[in-house]
Amino acid sequence: GQSLEQPSEVTAVEGAIVQINCTYQTSGFYGLSWYQQHDGGAPTFLSYNALDGLEETGRFSSFLSRSDSYGYLLLQELQMKDSASYFCAVRDQTGGYQKVTFGTGTKLQVIP
Amino acid sequence: GAGVSQSPSNKVTEKGKDVELRCDPISGHTALYWYRQSLGQGLEFLIYFQGNSAPDKSGLPSDRFSAERTGGSVSTLTIQRTQQEDSAVYLCASSTWTSARETQYFGPGTRLLVL
């Protein structure tokens, strides 16, 4: 089956950089996504990596190493509004079936 | 519409009743997902539609759960004989692929409370 691990909580200072790691175990790996979810809100898409390397979108970057079954989300110039839960999610395909498995989420607290 | 919509936004029901949850995806999105999120927990994948087809139903928690999609658009998730453990937020997402990258767009969810 699929499993993902990410830290449960991270605290960082406003203006700093924070990295949220995600390791996964799956067969038929297709891609790794990251989502942000504020309390009481729906998840919003941040990034998707299917190939090794770094993808940059504004203050957010995401990295994938398929050989290490590892990825991370990098948030730069942290703002108070970045306080939220961040989920990594693996998309895989086995036997013609596609499935998306989410990690349990990392709660990021940005402090002044 | 501009985004994914779900109805109802909130549903309170009595144990043993059936409920039907609706999802209207973004127009043109062929892929549609249903997830469940319990309070303070991550997202649990339920089912995925490509067009009207959902070849893998193994993510549905029990045979009380069923889902269908017609016309490649609206989808309904039905829970029969609801139980208290079915209480959760049910999220729907539709997705698009651009340059081999998928982006999922989530609806606001339906908050289900089974008394």
The tens digit of pLDDT for each residue in B17-50 reads: 999 999 999 998 988 999 999 887 788 889 988 8
Average pLDDT over all residues of chain A: 92
* B106 → closest Cβ in A31, A44, A103: A44
Chain B residues whose beta carbon lies within 8 Å of the beta carbon of residue A100:
33, 45, 48
Question: Strand order in A60-65's β-sheet?
Answer: A3-5, A18-25, A70-75, A60-65, A53-57
The nearest alpha carbon in chain A to B31 belongs to: A98
Residue B4 banded pLDDT, cuts 50, 70, 90? very high
* B48 → closest Cβ in A31, A50, A99: A99
Average pLDDT over residues A41-47: 90
* Percent of chain B at pLDDT exceeding 90: 63
Residue A92 banded pLDDT, cuts 50, 70, 90? confident
Average pLDDT over all residues of chain B: 90
Predicted pLDDT at A1: 59
Q: What sections of chain A are H helices per DSSP?
A: none
The nearest alpha carbon in chain A to B93 belongs to: A43
Distances (CA, A) of B109 to A90, B38, B51, B59: 21, 12, 21, 18
Taking an 8 Å cut-off on Cβ atoms, the answer to whether A101 and B45 are in contact is yes
